[in-house]
Amino acid sequence: MNILVINGSPQKEKSVTLHYVLFIKKFLNQHDFTFLHISDFDKPNFECIKDKIIKADAIIWSFPVYFFSIPAQLKFIIEQIFDNGLDTYFKGKYASAVSTSIKLYDSMAHKYIHAISEQMGLLFFDGFSAEINDIFNKKERERLKQYALTFTDFALSKKQIHPSFSYVQKAMPPLYDAPKKASENLFQGLNNALVLYTNDFYNSETHESLYLLKQHSVKGHYINFSEEKFGFCTGCLQCGYDNKCSRNDGFDIFFKTYTTHADPLIFIIEARDLIISHKWKIFIDRIFFNGHIPMFQNKRAGIIITGTMPDYSIVVPYLELWCKAHGATLCGTVIKELSKNHFESDLSSLLSKIDTHIKNNYISPPSSESITVKHIVSSYVNLDLKPIFYADKTYYKKPFDLKSFGKSFTIHIRNFFLLLLLRIPSIRKAFYKKMVYFRTKKFSTLIDKEGN
């Protein structure tokens, strides 16, 4: 079988992920492997890409997880594949994906590559998501070999694969009847907004959104990211030491200038190929110059999605995850295409929600997304990756706190004696009988004292 590996890492031949594929190649020596390093294409050579696709029996997408999805470079190539009609050459071939990451929402990236593969007509077999260092573990190398065999066996057998994504159906319309007329409210609270948008594909809808925001007195900075000439994140990690991007093109200053004092953040996002446009992904990837520090804490955010797509079940959870992982209080998402003739009213209600949050100084509690990020990243940047992500120490290094140490010490002592006592059946029975009472007693005592 001829397997075409589409290497989506900006690190090209130095890609960690590519080394996982090279390991597979060595093991599957009865098959031929061809490589397409997409970061080599400043201007994609479509004849060369087309030729390689036509000759391939199977495709392996090889990519690092970048902000819970694929790198902007790979997204750009996917846009080019559709724009140049190359998707037809993928039809009916088997496909899979290999990624490496620190396993932070890697499943979201795989879900996307699975869905977009099916939209190209590929028969997508499950992907393989490895943790960066898995290959150094014998058991994991075995697993990688088993995966490679399973995929190629399946592809050779020419078995059918039932598509997993219902991308031919639009997302559910809202169950209630939204008011057709926008409310007359003018929003006093939104004087300090950052409205960030691109207009690479869907000018009219983006412009309609901008017009409505201005009509609703949303004041602050309106920034068209399409007019900014910022390139892709190269994944060099040099920013890890001091938060300085090696590209030196001013993205860090741009980002800080417009986001530091802005609240709310309103993102008008062009959707394409089941997710966001590559230009938006450039913005998302480039924030990596800040390492793993969440950048939208104590800010309210709203998302407006423009464009036309068969399905919104990937882009909406993706963007919500992105905002929440950065610590934003996400007030809502409006999808232009689904809002249809009540877009103005939907937008108005989103603004009204943001406005009420700001008036009441309300910031939502940390989301499970932001807590997950903190826990996983913390285990890396305080240990294995500490020298690389030295700059993360300001956020991830907890100073030694005598008070909390003392508290955890007393809890350990309490647990020790309590667990000893619980070995006695009569005490255990009495304990569990009274436990709920004692737990809730604390709550009701507090409410009696403070709850007015």
Ligand X SMILES: Cc1cc2nc3c(=O)[nH]c(=O)nc-3n(C[C@H](O)[C@H](O)[C@H](O)COP(=O)(O)O)c2cc1C
For binding to ligand X (CB under 6 A), which residues are involved? 9, 11, 15-17, 64-68, 100-106, 132, 233, 235, 285, 288
Kindly state the smallest distance separating residue 368's Cβ from ligand X, in Å.
Answer: 16
Contact present, 1 and 32 (Cβ < 8 Å)? yes
DSSP-assigned letter for residue 313 = T
Distance between CA atoms of residues 419 and 408, nearest Å: 16
- Burial class from Cβ neighbours inside 10 Å (0-12, 13-18, 19+) for residue 94 reads buried
DSSP 3-state of 80 = helix
Kindly state the smallest distance separating residue 409's Cβ from ligand X, in Å.
Answer: 34
- Burial class from Cβ neighbours inside 10 Å (0-12, 13-18, 19+) for residue 22 reads middle
> Closer to ligand X at the Cβ: 78 or 331?
78
List Cβ<8 Å contacts ≥24 apart for 147-155: 148/24, 148/27, 148/28, 149/28, 150/125, 151/58, 151/94, 151/96, 151/125, 152/1, 152/3, 152/28, 152/31, 152/58, 154/94, 154/125, 155/1, 155/57, 155/58, 155/94, 155/125
- DSSP letters, 195-210, are EEE--SS-HHHHHHHH
Write b or e for each residue in 139-170: b if 16 or more Cβ atoms lie within 10 A of its Cβ, otherwise e.
Answer: eeeeebeebbeebbebbeeeeeeebebebeee
> Closer to ligand X at the Cβ: 64 or 327?
64
> Closer to ligand X at the Cβ: 120 or 245?
245
Contact present, 21 and 12 (Cβ < 8 Å)? no
The radius of gyration of the chain from alpha carbons, rounded to an integer in Å, stands at 25
> Closer to ligand X at the Cβ: 104 or 195?
104
Kindly state the smallest distance separating residue 292's Cβ from ligand X, in Å.
Answer: 9
Kindly state the smallest distance separating residue 76's Cβ from ligand X, in Å.
Answer: 15
> Closer to ligand X at the Cβ: 233 or 391?
233
Kindly state the smallest distance separating residue 95's Cβ from ligand X, in Å.
Answer: 18
> Closer to ligand X at the Cβ: 240 or 264?
240
Kindly state the smallest distance separating residue 254's Cβ from ligand X, in Å.
Answer: 17
Contact present, 266 and 300 (Cβ < 8 Å)? no
Distance between CA atoms of residues 352 and 340, nearest Å: 19
> Closer to ligand X at the Cβ: 345 or 382?
382
> Closer to ligand X at the Cβ: 64 or 302?
64
Of the candidates 246, 236, 308, the one whose C-alpha atom is nearest the C-alpha of residue 277 is 308
Kindly state the smallest distance separating residue 69's Cβ from ligand X, in Å.
Answer: 8
> Closer to ligand X at the Cβ: 241 or 288?
288
Tokens standing for residue 173: 């319309």
Q: Where are the alpha helices (DSSP H) in 360-424?
A: 368-381, 393-396, 402-421
Kindly state the smallest distance separating residue 116's Cβ from ligand X, in Å.
Answer: 18
Kindly state the smallest distance separating residue 310's Cβ from ligand X, in Å.
Answer: 25
